[in-house]
């Protein structure tokens, strides 16, 4: 992949090229003490100099004198809420003089360019594409948003203490699924296109030929990000979780877990939902709405008068064994992309890597 160099002072030209091509530009900004993806009025809104400190149960931003915009790893969310919305209006029904009339809620989408996505975000997007688009009945709401997406990925230059995407094979480099790929260096950006539409934008940038020193700096920071990571048991080991359904560790974690569902909400691959019907007081109009749900909610396992997972230990077990083991039968890979969000956003600091290691201790020790 050929890479050109864009000096930092000319970085705003990328924003201008995207706007000229008709994209709304969405990128990371600092909001309410976290890095969140929002519409950008310009690249000056990017989190210049901001870094995050994360550990189990902790996420804290700090402003540094650094000149980089992407020297952080993950905020609480990236693409998920933009494509699979937390609240999706599905259809309405209205009682008319001609009878009951049903209407699908039309989904509007505008071309959007997302800047700052990481390898783990793109791996999660691929899983969601598989789930929402590749089945017998593609989800039209997801599909409408997805078709309009332009992606500018950034290779990670550091890893947070909670990251383990090397173990899952999803980072710290972004290797597929982007239109443009950036490596951020101190003085500017290495830029490469990953699609025809990406190439159209790249052609408009005042790129210089990348120097060997710049290419080597990018390689070194990727290597540093790799070595900074912790290790998750591999997929073959994780499959053995289903043989551990009576392990005492499930009760141990249940004594700490609040069943709040934070881990599933921040997880870029979780896609559980529920539907609600709303009607007006006269019974003339009704609406069906899809909302995010969590397997940590007691009601999520309610079927015909019975809650199948009344205990928190059963719900945590359901989450972990599905995410890491049985997911592999559904999607031919684990449902975890190693982003570490569920660890830092768990209010009591439950760490799924530690839980998986504890559950598989004998397996891991034996291998």
The correct pick among 340, 344, 351, 360 for binding ligand SF4 (CB under 6 A) is: 340
231 binds ligand SF4 (CB under 6 A): no
Give 148's contacts (C-beta < 8 A, 6+ positions apart).
Answer: 109, 110, 111, 112
Closer residue to ligand SF4 in complex, CB, 34/48 = 34
Give bridge partners of residue 190 from the DSSP assignment: 5, 183
Window 288-317: residues binding ligand SF4 (CB under 6 A)? 296
Q: Is the peptide bond before 172 cis (omega within 30 degrees of 0)?
A: yes
Q: Using the rule CB under 6 A, give the single segment among 23-31, 147-155, 325-333, 347-355 that binds ligand SF4.
A: 347-355
For the beta carbon of residue 351, count every other beta carbon within 10 angstroms.
20
* List 61, 109, 215, 259, residue binding ligand SF4 (CB under 6 A): 259
DSSP structural state of residue 232: P
Which three-class secondary structure state does DSSP give residue 256?
A: coil
Read off φ and ψ for residue 244, nearest 5 degrees. -115, 30
Q: Which stretch binds ligand SF4 (CB under 6 A): 41-49, 108-116, 188-196, 251-259?
A: 251-259
DSSP β-bridge partners for residue 274: 291
Stretch in the footprint of ligand SF4 (CB under 6 A) among 187-195, 210-218, 234-242, 331-339: 331-339
Binder to ligand SF4 among 230, 317, 333, 341 (CB under 6 A)? 341
Gap between the Cα atoms of 325 and 334, Å rounded: 6
Size of the site for ligand SF4 (CB under 6 A): 25
Cα 267 to Cα 78: distance, rounded to the nearest angstrom:
10
Kindly state whether residue 346 participates in binding ligand SF4, applying the rule CB under 6 A. Answer: yes
* Polymer length in residues for the chain: 367
Q: Is 337 in the site for ligand SF4 (CB under 6 A)?
A: yes
Listed ranges 23-31, 40-48, 146-154, 345-353: which one lies at the site for ligand SF4 (CB under 6 A):
345-353
Q: Which residues bind ligand SF4 (CB under 6 A)?
A: 257-263, 266-269, 296, 323, 336-342, 346-348, 350, 352
């Amino acid at each position: 992949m050929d890479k050109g160099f864009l000096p930092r002072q000319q970085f705003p030209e990328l924003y201008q090229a995207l706007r000229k091509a008709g994209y709304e530009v969405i990128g990371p900004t600092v909001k309410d003490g976290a890095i969140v993806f929002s519409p950008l009025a310009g690249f000056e809104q990017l989190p210049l100099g901001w870094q995050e400190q994360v550990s189990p149960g902790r996420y804290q931003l700090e402003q540094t004198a650094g000149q980089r915009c992407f020297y952080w790893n993950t905020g609480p969310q990236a693409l998920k809420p933009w494509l699979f919305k937390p609240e999706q209006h599905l259809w309405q029904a209205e009682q008319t003089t001609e009878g009951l009339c049903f209407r699908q809620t039309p989904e509007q989408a505008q071309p959007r360019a997302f800047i700052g996505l990481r390898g783990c975000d793109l791996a999660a997007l691929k899983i969601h594409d598989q789930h929402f688009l590749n089945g017998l009945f593609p989800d039209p709401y997801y599909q409408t948003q997805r078709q309009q997406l332009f992606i500018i990925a950034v290779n990670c230059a550091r890893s947070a203490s909670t990251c383990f995407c090397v173990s899952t094979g999803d980072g710290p480099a972004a290797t597929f699924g982007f239109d443009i790929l950036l490596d951020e260096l101190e003085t500017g950006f290495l830029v490469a296109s990953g699609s025809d539409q990406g190439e159209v934008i790249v052609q408009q940038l005042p790129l210089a030929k990348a120097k060997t020193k710049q290419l080597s700096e990018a390689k070194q920071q990727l290597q540093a990000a790799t070595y900074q990571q912790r290790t998750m048991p591999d997929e073959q080991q994780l499959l053995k979780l289903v043989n551990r359904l009576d392990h005492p560790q499930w009760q141990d974690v249940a004594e700490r877990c609040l069943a709040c569902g934070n881990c599933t909400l921040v997880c870029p691959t979780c896609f559980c939902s529920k539907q609600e019907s709303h009607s007006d007081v006269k019974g003339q109009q009704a609406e069906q709405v899809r909302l995010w749900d969590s397997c940590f909610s007691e009601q999520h396992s309610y079927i015909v008068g019975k809650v199948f997972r009344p205990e928190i230990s059963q719900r945590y077990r359901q989450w972990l064994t599905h995410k890491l083991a049985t997911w592999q039968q559904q999607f031919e890979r684990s449902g975890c992309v190693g982003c570490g969000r569920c660890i830092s956003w768990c209010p009591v600091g439950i760490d799924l890597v530690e839980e998986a290691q504890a559950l598989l201790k004998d397996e891991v020790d034996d291998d």
